[in-house]
């Protein structure tokens, strides 16, 4: 158990809908990262927050947004969902802005 | 484009054998190279990591070999066990930030 929690574990929704994925980092970790894992694209970095501020953006679609709150938990919002958004979404946390990242168990999103 | 190239895609090894997974990169700004292990339905978990100031790092049965001039690094699993059967990902992170660029993964099966 990495100490990173993600909810919900599974999410099934329809195209065009909006969902929110939640991540609680390990106690004391200031950095939160979001990754998307799909069969054809592998693990892709989406976005990194450090102590509430956005630090880096990767291959994140404009339909997706994220934020990190003062208590350091983070939410990833996915809107106007498409079939291709079906994937595993992982959150990872780190105590610093670099180095080891600890991954949560993931949220499996299925868009029908 | 894929910033980190990983091979092989799948690997079958006899119990007690050596499993070798290779990765290559182009970006000379990468300065942190972790390996992650992922079991089905779980998030990736850090196995071992290396920085370019050393050519080898060993932790138990797991060894990373790093060749800075060739821009290659590899994971060796000695005395492979059926419990090592999992998907292994190499990754690289630049010195300017901490977004991980993952390889495409290697599915390892260790047969008894």
Q: For A25, which DSSP code?
A: P
pLDDT range class, residue A20, cuts 50, 70, 90:
very high
pLDDT per residue, tens digit, chain B (112 aa), is 678 999 999 999 999 999 999 999 999 989 999 999 999 989 999 999 999 899 999 999 999 999 999 999 999 999 999 999 999 999 999 876 678 899 999 999 999 9
Give the CA dihedral B12, B14, B19, B21, nearest 10 degrees.
-10
Find all residues with CB under 8 Å of B1, minimum gap 6, and list them: none
Confidence at residue B97, expressed as pLDDT on a 0 to 100 scale: 67
- Asked if A33 and B105 come within 8 Å (Cβ–Cβ), the reply is no
Computed over every residue of chain A, the mean pLDDT equals 94
Mutate to test the interface with A, among B100, B101, B104 (most CBs of A within 10 A): B100
Residue A92 Cα distances to A18, A34, A46, angstroms: 22, 6, 11
Are residues B34 and A103, on separate chains, in Cβ contact within 8 Å?
A: no
* Spatial distance between the Cα atoms of B88 and B101, rounded to a whole number of angstroms: 14
Residues of chain B with Cβ-Cβ distance to A104 below 8 Å are 43
Locate the chain B residue with the closest alpha carbon to A4. Answer: B43
As a whole number of angstroms, the distance between CA B45 and CA A103 comes to 7
Q: What is the pLDDT of residues B42-72, one digit of tens each?
A: 999 999 999 989 999 999 999 999 999 999 9
User: Under an 8 A CB cutoff, do B102 and A42 touch?
Assistant: yes
Residue A51: other Cβ atoms inside 10 A: 13
Among residues A19, B68, A17, the alpha carbon closest in space to that of A6 is found at: A19
pLDDT confidence tier of residue A50, bands split at 50, 70 and 90? very high
Q: Does the beta-carbon distance from A105 to B93 stay under 8 Å?
A: no
Residue A103, exposed/middle/buried by CB under 10 A (0-12, 13-18, 19+)? buried
pLDDT for residue B41: 87
Is pLDDT above 90 for A100?
A: no
Each residue of A78-95: pLDDT tens digit?
A: 999 999 999 999 999 998
In whole angstroms, give the CA distance from residue B2 to residue B29: 15
B13/B84 Cα distance (integer angstroms): 10
């Amino acid at each position: 158990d990495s100490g990173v929690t993600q909810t919900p574990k599974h999410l099934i929704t329809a195209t065009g809908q909006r969902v929110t994925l939640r991540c609680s980092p390990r106690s004391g970790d200031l950095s939160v990262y979001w990754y998307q894992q799909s069969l054809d694209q592998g693990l892709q970095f989406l976005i990194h927050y450090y102590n509430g501020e956005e630090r880096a953006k990767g291959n994140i679609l404009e339909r997706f947004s994220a934020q990190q709150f003062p208590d350091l938990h983070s939410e990833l919002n996915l809107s106007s969902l498409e079939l291709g958004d079906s994937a595993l979404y992982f959150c990872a946390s780190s105590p610093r802005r670099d180095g080891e990242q600890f991954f949560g168990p993931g949220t499996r999103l299925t868009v029908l | 484009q894929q910033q980190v190239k990983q091979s092989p895609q799948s690997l079958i090894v006899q119990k007690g054998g050596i499993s070798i997974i290779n990765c290559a990169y182009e970006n000379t700004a990468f300065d942190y190279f972790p390996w992650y292990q992922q079991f089905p339905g779980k998030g990736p978990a850090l196995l071992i990591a290396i920085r370019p100031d050393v050519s080898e790092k060993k932790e138990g049965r797991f060894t990373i070999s790093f060749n800075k001039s060739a821009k290659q690094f590899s994971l060796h699993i000695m005395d492979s066990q059926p419990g090592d059967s999992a998907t292994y990902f190499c990754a690289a992170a630049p010195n300017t930030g901490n977004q991980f660029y993952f390889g495409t993964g290697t599915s390892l099966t260790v047969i008894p």
